[in-house]
Amino acid sequence: MVTIEQYTPKKSAQVAPLKVQPEQVQFTISDVLSVIEQLDDHEHPHLILDDGVVVGFFLLDMNYLSNQAFDVEIDSHSAALGIRALLIDETFQGRGIATQALQALPDYLKRAYSEKTAAYLTVNCRNVAAYQCYLKAGFQDTGNLYHGGPVGPQYIMTLSW
């Protein structure tokens, strides 16, 4: 069963070996623990587990919309959060874990972040597999692109609950 939980330092040994395939590094992070060490208070690290085994990672960013230059109409920046740096370890990819985690996300967010009602993320236009995964999990393409990414334009996607 795929579950989501907030990262705690007691899981650092399980998080340290997480890595993606070499061609995927351009789209996400390559050293999870280094990222965790540099987080600001508004960035909350989370883990994706499959039957209790840490298989993935992502960040929830409480200030995501305030820090992004998105050309989208948003009712309330304070009611939305951002999803960043989502990855599934290369040895666990292709099993539907990311889709299952993303499908479980709204229920998790309703419990853990009850004041939030929507999530936003960007996905590189060349990262077709990730884009399809987000669509399959219920995210919607806003029809707008974000051009501030390090490796080209990105689709802006959203999920409401």
pTM metric for this prediction: 0.93
Instruction: Say yes or no to pLDDT of 70 above 90.
Output: no
Query: Taking residues 2-26, what's their average pLDDT?
Result: 96
pLDDT: which is higher, 77 or 113: 113
Mean pLDDT of the chain: 93
User: What's the pLDDT score for residue 77?
Assistant: 59
How large a percentage of the chain has pLDDT more than 70?
94
Q: What CA–CA distances, in Å, run from 83 to 21, 28, 93?
A: 20, 12, 19
Domain count, the chain: 1
Q: Which two tokens stand for residue 129?
A: 């597999």
Q: Is the dihedral of CA 29, 126, 42, 117 positive or negative?
A: negative
What would the mean pLDDT of 72-90 be, rounded to a whole number?
83
Domain that holds residue 64: 2-160
In this prediction, residue 149 carries a pLDDT of 84
Q: Which amino acid is at 30?
A: S
Q: Give pLDDT, residue 17.
A: 98
Alpha carbon distance 16, 81 (integer Å): 25
| Per-residue pLDDT reduced to its tens digit, 130-142 | 999 999 999 999 9
Q: Are 144 and 158 in contact (CB under 8 A)?
A: no
Q: What's the confidence (pLDDT) of residue 65? A: 83
Other beta carbons less than 10 A from residue 38's beta carbon: 8
Can you say whether the dihedral through the CA atoms of 124, 128, 131, 133 is positive or negative?
negative
User: In the structure, what pLDDT confidence band is assigned to residue 73 with cuts at 50, 70 and 90?
Assistant: low
**At 54, which CATH number?**
3.40.630.30
Which tens digit of pLDDT belongs to each residue from 46-58?
A: 999 999 999 999 9
**Whole-Å CA distances, 103 to 11, 48, 72:** 23, 12, 24
Query: What average pLDDT does the segment 91-119 reach?
Result: 96
